[in-house]
Structure 1
């Protein structure tokens, strides 16, 4: 699977950094229990508490971010399955607001497939890896962008080329597990947004980039257990500049299923067409 998706640069760190105090409190109590001889909290429980706290703080942060910078209209919310594996294949217009709007407006817990190759310093890498691990957000590196980021010292790289496969392998495993557990996953198959602090292929004026079909292959891998059936929801964004805030329309299409299409290429093509239609 060669598709590598762009990251939300603030949201994952926000969920963990703002939730750091309560998270550390939970961990500290667990450690005290171990040292005092009392039975410590079961690891699954501690992990669940940490994730719930981070998710709640993340939702609040996304609400503040989107309220300050956007006015949002949501269409097609009734198309979302209330439960079960869900993959949202969305247009990528804004590097920050897209993810924050989805996290705010989707009435389910969502995980975002992100790329970390925009990182320029080692402390950013440590923070983002920790944040994404806590939130259970699969992370990858886009090979074509890997060597464009440095930590300020000429020739020194934040990521090594031999790390690409490891990141991709772990991301696929994490994403498959999320879908098999009935969770929601957001993917931006274009890989790059229109509004981005860093140069990207859309700088040439392209409104849309061709979808990378890796997200469909990911669904196929998750469904190999013969029990998982992933609903793929094409999702469009329409941004209109306002005096102070973006006017944003989020449109959710009807779910599509891999079994209804001949192959991954055909399904990816249909989803790409629908996402473009929903974005106008």
Structure 2
């Protein structure tokens, strides 16, 4: 593995190591699909967490999140105004029209995969549909910027431009959540460098073949400001507006960006 200390380069992996990360990522993708299928009105987020842990462990993997700095769940289940890091609970019961963001990580053979997906319980409002789609489009824009020779903030800028384009597409404002973003990933879930979701291009370490990052835009229907609740985990929007979170683990290859957290049936 390349080291971040090797000046100016985002950490990189060999082709075989990327395949190992993709195997971990496939477990994450399958878990997200299983959780989404179970996300019905009347189901608790704790039940979703139990499904996720079972899928991960049945695949011979280990949940990345469980026990991470004391986090109790195998997924982060963030509903409506919760941006990220929602703790699964028997007391949080899904209802029709809820906007759900599930963040999931798995370790397989020492390698991490990390991905998040926002979707609705039943039918979403038009506002929430546009919010989730804007976040997905911002993710797509960021992934497209993960090419050999790019600088770290080229990705940040691409995510921001994706959000700006989505604002124009839907004719509305989406807030880019302040202070949160993506990260390096490999044999640990969170590695340097931090990847902001906005900023000027052309700065930071350079991407090389094999560089891996978790790209994860987070948008809201209102404010960019958030507060961490008393549980020291749950991040909520200050104005109560709904939030969406999309994430993939991505590698730079000679043939362009490679998504390492593919979901079953995805293109």
TM-score by length of 1: 0.27
Which has the higher Rg, Structure 1 or Structure 2? 1
More strand by share: 2
TM-score by length of 2: 0.28
